Amino acid sequence: MAVIKPFRGLRYNLEKIDNLAEVIAPAYDPTGSDDRKEYYNKHKYNTVYLEHRENAALTLNSWLKQKILEEEDKPALYRYQQEFLFNGEKKVRSGIICTVKIEPYEKGIILPHEETLDKYREDSLELLKSSRVTISPILGLYNDAGSTVDSIMEKAAEKTPDIDFTDESGTVHRVWVIKDGEIISQVQESMKRMRIFLASGHHLYEAALNYRNYRREAQGITSETDDNPFDYVMMTLVNLYSPNLVILPCHRLVKNVKNFNLDKMLNILKEDFKVEDFAVDPGGSNLEEFLNLVSNRGGFDQGLGIDHRRAFGLYAGKGQGYVITLESETALDRLMPREKSLAWQGLDVSVLHTTIIDRLLTTVEKDQTIKPDIHYTRKKKEVLKMVDSGEYQTAFFMNPPLLDEVTAVAIGGEKMPPKSTYFYPGLPAGLIINKL
């Protein structure tokens, strides 16, 4: 099934860079949900400088000549750990940084779970063309119930890590460079039995697929190949069965809704949803109380699993908050598209996009469909400010999807709406760089 390879990664020279926390950045996100500006001022060799299409290649070559970045002397796999706090509990998420053979989705080896947007995919493709390196890894999940690969890599990493630092958020990053050919072969052989679920970086994967095709066409390659660097994409692979996988939601801010009428929308929603008023402090002092109520209405406090209720929070500005809960599961059959599976129909994001964004906030004029603009963010308090300022008309706070929901949709060959998941913590850009 999945084919992985070691690679000669580019790494920051620790004799030149005192603190790696100053030169890494959040993984490149063309949606702009992460503010990159602060990283330009952090360090003159911060990895964000490699994201400039116009001079990415020149910058990379300069850093290599100065030995700011150095290439591994032989192909390696990288054992990678992130130690972090979540709800006061210490967690350690372990994975493998490697390259994975690029396969079209229809082969069923690499399984996506959410839609991407053309402009983001194209932006990532142009960056690949100009830089010819992968800076940000994709997060993939492999189905290893017996933890065979984990055991192999854990034994191989019984030494002092080659990289060990703490970033500004408090997350500890550790990397062990594994060059032992026998260990690498064992991991490769084990991975052949597995499929990979894309967890994050869907637009990066699709850009890599398009880049592979672009390079093949440019070189006149007409047959299937797997021996060129561009036939592979860098991923961080984590066991699907890891107890330390954390999924957070991406919230939605909405603007450019023509003739937006909050009262009318709420009245229509009350036909199928329970709508509860909640006075939200615009300063955010009771925001967590509001979000906890949304979570409770979804049944997450009761451990209902995939049988949880469909619930989300609505914020309309000036302290107007509402908890929206689907009254009856039987309404799904009437409200949701029947060609979609029950797994897809039952997703909170599917219910939101189908019954509210597409049905109530989208207009049709002269056979032209006018959809609202949607901005995705994980920053909860920013949502309140952006609606109160008038920049956005309304916002929706989401509960996180469950991992079982994500994999069920992926196995069924369907995709969730864009930005449905955020696997926490995010992977950094610049920790290991892959030349194409």
Over the stretch 136-156, which tens digit does the pLDDT of each residue have? Answer: 989 999 999 999 999 999 999
Q: List, for residues 160-175, the tens digit of each pLDDT value.
A: 999 999 999 999 999 9
pTM score, whole prediction: 0.92
Residue 390 region by backbone torsions, left for phi larger than 0, else alpha for psi between -120 and 50, else beta = left
Q: What is the pLDDT of residues 72-97, one digit of tens each?
A: 999 999 999 999 999 999 999 999 99
Q: How far apart are CA 398 and CA 384, in angstroms?
A: 14
Predicted pLDDT at 30 = 56
**Domain architecture of the chain: domains with CATH:** 4-246+424-435 (no CATH), 250-399 (3.30.1760)
Is 9 in contact with 163 (CB distance < 8 Å)?
Answer: no
Mean pLDDT of the chain: 92
Read off φ and ψ for residue 32, nearest 5 degrees: 75, 20
Q: What pLDDT is attached to residue 415?
A: 94
Distance CA 4, CA 101 (A): 6
> H/E element holding 174?
strand 172-178
The values of phi and psi at residue 304, to 5°, are -75, -10
What strands lie across the sheet with 311-315, from one edge to the other? 273-279, 320-326, 311-315, 394-398, 251-255, 373-377
pLDDT digits (tens, 9 = 90+) for 372-396: 999 999 999 999 999 999 999 999 9
Q: What is the pLDDT of residue 65?
A: 97
Confidence of residue 306 (pLDDT cuts 50, 70, 90): low
Residues 336-362 have a mean pLDDT of: 93
pLDDT, residue 35, reads 64
* Cβ neighbours around 353 below 10 Å, total: 21
Question: pLDDT-derived band of residue 368, with 50, 70 and 90 as boundaries?
Answer: confident
Share of the chain above pLDDT 70, in %: 97
Q: What confidence tier does 46 reach under pLDDT thresholds 50, 70, 90?
A: very high
Q: Which residues of 272-303 are buried (b: 16+ CB within 10 A; e: fewer)?
A: bbeeeebebebeeebbeebbebbbbbbbbeee
- Cα(358)–Cα(246) distance, integer angstroms: 29
> Directed axis angle between helix 118-131 and helix 56-65, to 10°?
40
